[in-house]
Structure 1
Amino acid sequence: MERYGEGYLEERKLVKRWSGPIPALVSLALTLGVFYLTWWIFQDPRGLMRMYTPYVGYMYCRWWLIMMIWMVYIFNFWPFKRKWLENTHPLTKGVVLTLVSTVILVGLIKGFFEGLMGNYGLAYFNPEQLEKLPGITSFFAIEYASLAILMFAAIASWLSPAWVVAFEEAPWEKMKQPGKGFSILIMTFFLSTVVYFVTMHPHMGILYHPWQYFTSIAPPYWEQFANTVSGNFHVSWIMCCTVVVWLVETIWERYPFSLIKNDWARRFAAFFGIIAIALAMHFFLYFAQELTWGEAIRGTRRAFAPDWRWLHVGEMAIFFLVPALFVTFYCDNWPKKYSLPVNVLLRTIATTVGAIALYIVYYKTSHDFLGTQKGFSHPQQFPMIPMIWLVNIWLVHHWFMDNWPAWKMVPKTVEEIEADHAAKLAAIEDVRLNSKFGVGLGAGVAMGVAFYFVTVWALPAVYAAVNIIPGK
């Protein structure tokens, strides 16, 4: 029976064309070039299509990410056959699969959200319906509709991969495509809809005056806790969930959840563990802003407003995703020579350092190169958009094009696949729950607590010493 692309990513061998770091550097230069060219064409306010309004560009950017997740992780490249994936030139594959993802993307936004939902369900999904309301201009109608659609995308970009990463495709893991894909898609889309209505719909209900008390909870139920009525509070933790899912999948190799032998215990622990880690990141990054900029003040705007602070938590989180994917896609998840916990720790440190460096470089230069506005909290400064746009370029390059031209794809032999599987099991078995593990766990907790307090102590001084934005 045809397998389509099931297991394709795991069962391909990417062979470097050159030794050392040259393939990674070549790929980085190539993808950054494609990123900048496509950014100029589609997003840059000084470019051609100027979709960075910012919400229109963000909407398409975020849903394109989900289209690729659906195609690769949920549908396993269906309806493309395994033979086609293995034998077609990477450039051809990249073009064809990208075009397919784009067609589905446009169809979903224009057909489902704007056409169906916007005309027959919720007016705020369709800008033409919003323009019929008194006081809403064409610009804000488009922005509000795009905001609603991308908010749904934010949730889907967490839950869609989470079902594969955490729940391991269960209970449909033994089904064939496309049945398995549609089952997971329907389940995650349903969950995304539920989460949307209890997190984002109340936010949309207060964007129009008077507040829509009959159709949404107004003021939103999180107002007192989050110190804002803005849905950015939810954007924050959901964005953190999205990032943590991919940290678990890439540089953490699903550790430590992979240590749990019972299938359903492992799956539930992974799903809710990802949420717990994301919430910890969510609150810590907000606290970090309090340490550096001072306490947020409700009623103010921009950097001191609680709603922007919550948004910036999600923006900071996305900077962790980029180096994590680079380590996995182009550095073969380096290092690999130590035990699994040590490898995970070293990759996490490298990712954190990379995230901090990227954060500084972005805010120092983005207004010059990307057409964004100078500053942290300007309404035209949305780092999530260029960061996710770059991630999308990398997904096309790694998933669709096999890292061509710096790597060559060679299908693994049966023996190589079995050896890889055995090595993964051995790495997990090597982490045994014994006295040595307990000592290591205790040391890790102590180091984590120490790191927290050192960070809290040092962050204000470090921020004061580093002039991230010139002239500020």
Structure 2
Amino acid sequence: MEQFGTNYLEERNLVKRWPQPIPAIVALIFTLIIFYGTWWIFQDPRGLMRMYTPYVGYMYTRWWLIVLIWMVYLFNYWPLKRSWLEKTHPITKGIVLTAISFVLLYVLIKGFFEGLVGNLGIAYFNPGQLTKLPGITEFFAIEYAALACLMFAAIASWLSPAWVVACEEAPWQNLKQPAKGISILITTFFLSTLIYFMTMHSHMGILYYPWQYFTSIAPPYWGNFANTVSGNFHVSWIMCCTVTVWIVETIWERYPFNLIKKNWLRHVVAFFGIIAIAFAIHFFLYFAQELTWGPAIRGTRRAFAPDWRWLHVGEMAVFFLVPAMFITFYCGNWPKKFSIPVNALIRTALTIFAGILLYIFYYKTSHLFLGTQKGFSHPQQFPMIPTIWLINIWLVHHWFMDNWPGWKIAPKTADEIIRDKEAEEALVRDVKWGPSFGWGLGFGAAAGVIIYFITVGLLPVFYNAIDIIK
């Protein structure tokens, strides 16, 4: 029976054409060329389509990410056949699959959100409906509608992969496509809708004066705790959830959750464990800004405004996702010679270090070649757009084009697939609960506390010593 692309990513054998680091360098140069070319065409304010308004470009960037996830993680390349994926040239695959993703993206935005929901349900999803209201110009109507769509996208970009990574497609893992994909899509879309109304809808309800008391909770319930009525508070922790899902999936190889043997317990612990890790990142990165820039002041704007600080938490988190993706896609998840915990620890350290360097590089140079504005908190400075756009390019390159030209695909034999699976299971079995593991956990917890306080003490020092923006 045709399996379409089920397990295609796991079972394909990508063979390097040259020894490392040449393939990784070639892939980086190749994808950066595509990134900058497409950025100029679609996003750059000086370019052709100029979608970086910024919310319109942000909306399409986020939803393109989700469409890519749907196509590969939820639907396993359905309706394309496995033989086509294995035999078609990577360039052809990249063009065809990217074109399909663009069509789906356009139908989703223009057909579902603006056409269906915006005309028959909630006006703020459709710019045309918003322009009928007194006091709203066409520009703000487009921006508000795009903001609503991208806020929904933030939630969907977390839950769509989370159901695959944490819940392992349960309880539909044994269904054939497209039944499996449709089941997961409906479930995650429903949960996204539910969370959207509890986290983002009230934000939209206070954008129009007078506040929409009848249709939303105004002022929003999180106002006193977050020190702002802005939905950026929720954007922050949801973005941290998105980043954490992919950290767990890539450089952590689903560790430590894969140590849990019972399926239902592993799924529950993984799903809520990811959320717990995300909240830790969420609050720490906000606290880090307090240490470097000083306390946020409610009622101010830009860098001292609490709403921007929460938004910047999500922005900072994405900077760490970029190197994590690169390590997995183009460095073969190096290193692999140690135990899973040690490998994951080294990769995490590399990710943090590279993420900090990328953060500094971006704010020093982005205004020179991306068409953004200089500064941390400028209204035209949204680093999540170019970083996620780059990640989208990498997903297309890795998922659709098999890392061409640095790699070539060589499908694994049945014996190779079995051996690889046994090797992965053996690595997990090597990490056993016991006295040594307990000592390791204790030492890790103590080291984590020490590193935390060292970081807290050094952040102001580093901030005063490094001039990112002059």
Same fold (TM over 0.5): yes
Structure 1 Cα separation of the partners of residues 415 and 249 of structure 2? 24
Task: Select between 389-398 and 435-444 the one with higher mean Cα deviation.
Answer: 435-444
Structure 2 Cα separation of the partners of residues 336 and 296 of structure 1? 42
The one-character-per-residue Cα deviations of 1:404-434 (angstroms, maximum 9, x if unpaired) are 0110011011111111111111111101111
Structure 2 Cα separation of the partners of residues 448 and 31 of structure 1? 36
1:407 and 2:444 matched:
no
Structure 1 residue 20: Cα displacement: 2.1
SS in 1 for 2:378: coil
- After the TM superposition, list the runs of 4 or more consecutive aligned residues in structure 1 that deviate by more than 3 angstroms: none
Paired-residue identity, %: 75
Structure 2 Cα separation of the partners of residues 179 and 22 of structure 1? 41
Task: Select between 436-445 and 188-197 the one with higher mean Cα deviation.
Answer: 436-445
Letter aligned with residue 261 of structure 2: K
Structure 1 residue 64: Cα displacement: 0.4
The one-character-per-residue Cα deviations of 1:285-335 (angstroms, maximum 9, x if unpaired) are 000000000000001000000000000000000001100000000000000
* Matched residue, 2:36: 36
The unaligned stretches of length 5 or more in structure 2 are none
Structure 2 Cα separation of the partners of residues 423 and 268 of structure 1? 25
Structure 2 Cα separation of the partners of residues 447 and 33 of structure 1? 41
Letter aligned with residue 108 of structure 1: L
* Matched residue, 1:90: 90
Counterparts of 1:4-403 in structure 2, within 5 Å, are 4-403=4-403
Structure 1 Cα separation of the partners of residues 112 and 42 of structure 2? 22
Letter aligned with residue 240 of structure 2: C
Structure 2 Cα separation of the partners of residues 152 and 26 of structure 1? 35
The unaligned stretches of length 5 or more in structure 1 are none
Structure 2 Cα separation of the partners of residues 57 and 438 of structure 1? 48
Give the RMSD, CA atoms, in angstroms. 0.4
Letter aligned with residue 256 of structure 1: P
Structure 2 Cα separation of the partners of residues 444 and 219 of structure 1? 42
SS in 2 for 1:238: helix
Letter aligned with residue 63 of structure 1: W
The one-character-per-residue Cα deviations of 1:324-368 (angstroms, maximum 9, x if unpaired) are 000000000000000010000000000000100000000000000
The one-character-per-residue Cα deviations of 1:133-175 (angstroms, maximum 9, x if unpaired) are 0000000000000000011000000000000000000000000
Structure 2 Cα separation of the partners of residues 397 and 381 of structure 1? 26
Structure 1 residue 439: Cα displacement: 1.1
Letter aligned with residue 352 of structure 1: I
Structure 1 Cα separation of the partners of residues 20 and 205 of structure 2? 54
SS in 2 for 1:408: strand
SS in 2 for 1:79: coil
* Residues matched between the structures, number: 470
* Matched residue, 2:419: 419
Structure 2 Cα separation of the partners of residues 235 and 164 of structure 1? 22
SS in 2 for 1:15: strand
The one-character-per-residue Cα deviations of 1:200-238 (angstroms, maximum 9, x if unpaired) are 000000000000000000000000000000000000000
Structure 2 Cα separation of the partners of residues 327 and 426 of structure 1? 23
Letter aligned with residue 290 of structure 1: E
Letter aligned with residue 175 of structure 2: M
Structure 1 Cα separation of the partners of residues 262 and 234 of structure 2? 32
Structure 2 Cα separation of the partners of residues 289 and 70 of structure 1? 35
Structure 2 Cα separation of the partners of residues 424 and 444 of structure 1? 24
Structure 2 Cα separation of the partners of residues 400 and 273 of structure 1? 30
Structure 1 length-normalised TM: 0.99
Structure 1 Cα separation of the partners of residues 208 and 20 of structure 2? 57
